[in-house]
Amino acid sequence: MDAEQPSGGARRSFICWSAAAAAAWSTWPRTVVGQTTDELTGGDPLGSMQWPGLRKQYLGNAPMHFSDAVVVRGPEFADDAMNVPLLVNARALEAVGGGVARIQVVVDRNPVRDVLTFTPHKALPMLAFRIRMEQASPVRAMVQTRDGQWHVGSTWVKASGGGCTVPGITRADGSWVKTLNQVQTRFFYNPVDGSRRLRVRVMHPMDTGLVAGIPAFHVEELKLVDTLGEVWWALQLHEPVSENPLITLELPSQGGQGFRLLGRDNNGNRIEAEVKA
Amino acid sequence: MSRAVLYGFQPPRAPRSPWHRLPRWAVAVGLLTTAAWQPLLAQQPAAPASLAAKPQRPTPVTTAQPATLQYGLAPRELAPGHWVIEGAVDDFGRHNGCNIINTAMVLTAEGPVVINTGPSRLYGEQQRQAVQWIWTSAGGSPQAKGQVLSLNLHPDYFFGNQAWADWPTLALPGTRAGMRAEGPAYADNLYRLCGDWMKGTESTPSKVDATPGTLRVGQRTLALHRFQGHTDDDLVVLDPAAGVAYVGGLVFMNRVPTTPHANFDQWLASLDALEAILKAGNYRWVVPSHGPIHTGLAGLNQTRDWLKWLTTAMATHADAGRDLGEVLHQPAVPPRFADWAAMPAELHRSLTQWYPVYEKRALAR
Q: What is the pLDDT of residue B184?
A: 95
Q: What is the pLDDT of residue A34?
A: 63
- What's the one-letter identity of residue A126? M
Domain that holds residue A23: 7-41
Q: What is the pLDDT of residue B48?
A: 34
Query: From the list A83, A186, A197, which residue is nearest B365 (CB)?
Result: A186
A86 to chain B, any CB pair closer than 8 A? The answer is yes
Residue B249 has pLDDT above 70, yes or no: yes
Cβ-count burial B5-34 (b if 16+ within 10 Å, e if not): eeeeeeeeeeeeeeeeeeeeeebebbebbe
Residue A221 counted as domain residue: yes
Residue B139 counted as domain residue: yes
The number of domains in chain A is 2
Q: What is the pLDDT of residue B130?
A: 95
Nearest residue of chain A to residue B349 (CA atoms): A79
CB contact under 8 Å between B352 and A79, yes or no, is yes
Specify whether the CB–CB gap between A154 and A67 falls below 8 A.
no
Cβ-count burial B223-250 (b if 16+ within 10 Å, e if not): bbbbbbbbbbbbbbbbbeebbbbbbbbb
A162 to chain B, any CB pair closer than 8 A? The answer is no
**Mean pLDDT across the stretch B241-266?**
97
Residue B34 has pLDDT above 50, yes or no: no
A134 and A73 assigned to the same domain = yes
Residue B359's pLDDT band, with cuts at 50, 70 and 90, is very high
Residue A56 counted as domain residue: no
Residue B90 counted as domain residue: yes
Interface test with B, best of A89, A246, A249 (most B CBs within 10 A): A246
- What does the DSSP 8-state code read for residue A207? B
CB contact under 8 Å between B363 and A185, yes or no, is yes
Average pLDDT in chain B:
86
Q: Establish whether the linkage from the previous residue to B344 is cis, with ω within 30° of 0.
A: yes
CB contact under 8 Å between B364 and A184, yes or no, is yes
CATH number at A259 reads 2.60.40.2470
Interface test with A, best of B324, B358, B365 (most A CBs within 10 A): B324
A201 to chain B, any CB pair closer than 8 A? The answer is yes
Contacts of B326 in chain A (CB under 8 A): 87, 128, 191
- What does the DSSP 8-state code read for residue B97? T
A68 and A161 assigned to the same domain = yes
- What's the one-letter identity of residue B226? R
| Residue with the larger pLDDT of the pair A104 and B364 | A104
A15 and A74 assigned to the same domain = no
Residue B71 counted as domain residue: yes
- What's the one-letter identity of residue A97? G
A11 to chain B, any CB pair closer than 8 A? The answer is no
Q: Give residues 324 to 343 of B whose Cβ lies within 8 Å of A.
A: 324-326, 328-329
CA B39 – CA A240 distance, rounded (Å):
57
Residue A2 counted as domain residue: no
Residues constituting chain B = 365
Q: Tens-digit pLDDT profile for chain A (277 aa)?
A: 343 333 433 444 444 444 444 444 444 444 456 677 788 999 999 999 999 999 999 999 999 999 999 999 999 899 999 999 999 999 999 999 999 999 999 999 999 999 999 999 999 999 999 999 999 999 999 999 999 999 999 999 999 888 888 889 899 999 999 999 999 999 999 778 888 999 999 999 999 999 999 999 999 999 999 999 999 999 999 999 999 999 999 999 999 999 999 999 999 999 999 998 7
Nearest residue of chain A to residue B322 (CA atoms): A191
Å between A154 CA and nearest CA of chain B: 16
Q: What is the pLDDT of residue B214?
A: 97
Residue A209 counted as domain residue: yes
Domain that holds residue B320: 54-363
CA B86 – CA A209 distance, rounded (Å):
47
Characterise B218 by phi-psi region: left (phi > 0), alpha (psi -120 to 50), beta (else).
left
Calculate what percentage of chain B has a pLDDT beyond 70.
Answer: 83
Interface test with B, best of A72, A82, A86, A87 (most B CBs within 10 A): A87
Residue A257 counted as domain residue: yes
Are β-strands A270-274 and A260-265 bridged in parallel, bridged antiparallel, or unpaired? Answer: antiparallel
A127 and A218 assigned to the same domain = yes
Instruction: From A67, A37, A252, select the one nearest A153 (Cα to Cα).
Output: A67
Specify whether the CB–CB gap between B238 and B186 falls below 8 A.
no
CA A197 – CA A275 distance, rounded (Å):
12
Specify whether the CB–CB gap between B290 and B100 falls below 8 A.
yes
CA A135 – CA B194 distance, rounded (Å):
19
Give the tens place of pLDDT for each residue, B45-55.
333 333 333 33
Query: From the list B329, B352, B363, which residue is nearest A199 (CB)?
Result: B363
Which H or E run contains A129? strand A126-131
A19 and A74 assigned to the same domain = no
Nearest residue of chain B to residue A160 (CA atoms): B192
Strand partners, A186: A199
Residue A168 counted as domain residue: yes
> Cβ of B360: how many Cβ atoms within 10 Å?
14
A120 to chain B, any CB pair closer than 8 A? The answer is no
A139 and A259 assigned to the same domain = yes
Residue B347 counted as domain residue: yes
Nearest residue of chain B to residue A88 (CA atoms): B325
> Cβ of A277: how many Cβ atoms within 10 Å?
9
Residue B28 has pLDDT above 90, yes or no: no
Residue by residue, DSSP assigns B249-277 as EEEE-SBPPP-TT--HHHHHHHHHHHHHH
**Mean pLDDT across the stretch B278-303?**
96
Å between A201 CA and nearest CA of chain B: 8
Residue B269 has pLDDT above 90, yes or no: yes
Q: What is the pTM of this model?
A: 0.84
Residue A51 counted as domain residue: no
Å between B318 CA and nearest CA of chain A: 10
Residue B29 counted as domain residue: no
A245 and A208 assigned to the same domain = yes
CB contact under 8 Å between B325 and A87, yes or no, is yes
Give the tens place of pLDDT for each residue, A211-240.
999 999 999 999 999 999 999 999 999 999
A27 and A93 assigned to the same domain = no
Q: What is the pLDDT of residue B61?
A: 54
Phi, psi of B212 (to 5 degrees): -60, 145
Residue B302 has pLDDT above 90, yes or no: yes
CB contact under 8 Å between B326 and A128, yes or no, is yes
Residue A49 counted as domain residue: no
A137 to chain B, any CB pair closer than 8 A? The answer is no
CA B85 – CA B45 distance, rounded (Å):
20
The number of domains in chain B is 1
CATH number at B98 reads 3.60.15.10
| Residue with the larger pLDDT of the pair B62 and B322 | B322
